[in-house]
Homo-oligomer: A and B are copies of this chain.
Amino acid sequence: MGGVVVTSVERVDLAVIDGLATCGVATVHEAQGRTGLLASRLRPIYTGARVAGSAVTISAPPGDNWMIHVAIEQLQPGDILVLAPTSPCEDGYFGDLLATSAQARGCRALITDGGVRDVRDLTQMNFPVWAKAVYAQGTVKETLGSVNVPVVCGGAHVRPGDVIVADDDGVCVVPRETAVEVLEKACAREVLEEAKRLRLANGELGLDIYSMRERLKEKGLVYI
């Protein structure tokens, strides 16, 4: 039933975090073995944002945004709020006032498996949100939740201090212990992809670049 705020959270170096942002969600997801994606129902409120940050997690009851105020005090520059309702809810937990407060403390984004409102203002403030719904429904401040405890958000396990990467493709979480390694793999992957892109753009086929023809034949593929 909540009621805990963890105040000491280990965070990954911002240089690593910013590197992951540059790689983007799809590449980071591949670089860590196709893991860590949040559900596709979490969509950005506007296109073009690409951010990364350290997760400050919130476990909140349905329709109660009290804990967001508590969480904002725990924010450090470069953080991202990750809000997981304790049961399915699409109420508008977060709007322009909370965004103003979070942004003032250096928060880069909100990720939520709930709803968001004031999306026009948030867009003008350049404060990106990935949410399950846009819904103006107001919330109360009556019941405790917790801040900086492990949560499941969008079907992914997120611990405080894990790195969140988010862009138009969705949201991905990188465990803080492997962030450096994932960044290295992601960068390496980008170099490889760039080479392939050139060959594909020149009309070479993936069938040949990746030497797939033999294996397809073995599996029994027939051309008619």
| From B70, B72, B115, B200, contact of A216 by CB (8 A) | B70
A115 to B64, CA, bound (A): 18
CB A135 to nearest CB in B, in angstroms, measures 4
- Across the interface, do B224 and A5 meet the contact criterion of CB distance under 8 Å? yes
- Across the interface, do A34 and B137 meet the contact criterion of CB distance under 8 Å? yes
Residues of B within 8 A of A142 (CB): 140, 142-143
| From B24, B123, B212, contact of A66 by CB (8 A) | B212
| From B100, B155, B197, contact of A152 by CB (8 A) | B155
| From B1, B69, B73, B223, contact of A210 by CB (8 A) | B69
Residues of B within 8 A of A104 (CB): 200-203
Q: Is A161 an interface residue (CB 8 A)?
A: no
Show 20 A/B contacts (Cβ-Cβ < 8 Å), sorted by A.
Answer: A3-B222, A5-B222, A8-B224, A34-B86, A62-B63, A62-B89, A63-B87, A69-B206, A72-B205, A97-B197, A97-B206, A100-B197, A100-B201, A101-B200, A105-B203, A119-B168, A120-B168, A134-B169, A136-B169, A152-B155
